[in-house]
Amino acid sequence: MDADVLTSLSPAVAIAGMVVCFLAAALGAVSGMGGGMLVTLFITPIVGAKAVLPILSVYMLINNGTRVWFYREALVWKHALLIGGIAIPASALGALVYVRLEGEAIQIMLGAILIASIPLRRWMEGRELRPGKGTVIAVSGAFGFLTSIIVGAGMLIIPILMGLGHLGPALLATDAAIAVMVNIAKIIFYGGLDALTLPMTGLALAMGLCAIPGTWLGVWVVRHTSIRVHTLMVEALILVGGGSMIWRAL
């Protein structure tokens, strides 16, 4: 993507982009997921598929950084540092291969894992079971690798955090903190691979500024919604997200 793409945008497209970034941030602040997918659907025809993940890394850094601030009192640092610390080196490997790997098979597997995670979490919850350290490490590594290759890999973390007992603001704050750490690393990796240019960074920063008020709106919704209702909303979005991944790949 070069600077000509930005200068050729019509006012209508620019305004639509601002609205999409606002809504995506609100969705992410409510559910912890889905925002990146919504932005991807809009910007891919504009910037091209190759530029999407590097641009999203900057956009999601701002988006999730804002969410961490709003939910800071509920953040569980222990699990954020554990998962983020495992995911970062794996994301470096993902960044090295993201331009070469076909994502259809991975999206099918990811979608199936997400859908299966809901009955598995409920089964574990009913027996007062929690994900073991091995499961957390394996999923964190898979998330780190996949997040540099496909959009939506962050949804893998939501079921793990829910399985660890984090719901509502604690779920959203901890997930956002993990995303901040991983996206900082991805920006460094993509920049080192010359996959993130100055025009792409400028576009992503503008998108991120539009996301800040959307995050505030999402936080307001969560704080006026019961934990049970919010959990059901997140599970519904996991089902939709997992199913859509399989549908697109097929």
Residue 205 pLDDT > 80: yes
pLDDT over 70 for what percent of the chain? Answer: 80
Distances, alpha carbon 104 to alpha carbons 10, 245, 247, in Å: 32, 9, 10
Residue 29 pLDDT > 70: yes
pLDDT at 4: 59
Distance CA 213, CA 221 (A): 13
pLDDT band at 164; cut points 50, 70, 90:
confident
Phi-psi region of 34 (alpha: psi -120 to 50; beta: other; left: phi over 0): left
Q: Which of 166, 162, 164, 183 is nearest to 237 (CA)?
A: 162
Task: Report the chain's C-alpha Rg in angstroms.
Answer: 17
Residue 129 pLDDT > 60: no
Higher pLDDT among residues 90 and 101, named by residue? 90
Task: Over range 72-89, report the average pLDDT.
Answer: 94
Average pLDDT, the chain: 81
What's the distance, Cα to Cα, between the start and end of the chain in Å? 28
Instruction: Output the DSSP codes for 144-180.
Output: HHHHTTSTTGGGGHHHHHHHTT--HHHHHHHHHHHHH
Q: Are 140 and 45 in contact (CB under 8 A)?
A: no
Residue 182 pLDDT > 70: yes
pLDDT at 236: 76
Task: Over range 76-98, report the average pLDDT.
Answer: 92
pLDDT at 92: 92
Higher pLDDT among residues 184 and 130, named by residue? 184
3-state SS assignment for residue 244? helix
Higher pLDDT among residues 123 and 179, named by residue? 179
pLDDT at 38: 76
3-state helix, strand, coil in the chain (%, to 5): 85, 0, 15
pLDDT in tens, 32-62: 666 777 787 788 778 877 788 889 999 999 9
Higher pLDDT among residues 144 and 105, named by residue? 144
Token representation of residue 207 = 């998108």
Residue 233 pLDDT > 60: yes
Residue count (the chain) = 250
pLDDT at 145: 92
| pTM score of the predicted model | 0.77
pLDDT at 77: 93
Q: Are 43 and 36 in contact (CB under 8 A)?
A: no
Q: Which of 37, 54, 57, 180 is nearest to 114 (CA)?
A: 37
Q: Which of 242, 232, 233 is nearest to 122 (CA)?
A: 232
Q: Hey, how many other C-beta atoms are within 10 angstroms of the C-beta on 150?
A: 20
pLDDT over 90 for what percent of the chain? Answer: 25
pLDDT at 151: 75
Token representation of residue 74 = 């509920």
Q: Where are the domains of the chain?
A: 3-249
pLDDT at 99: 67
In the chain, the amino acid numbered 164 is L
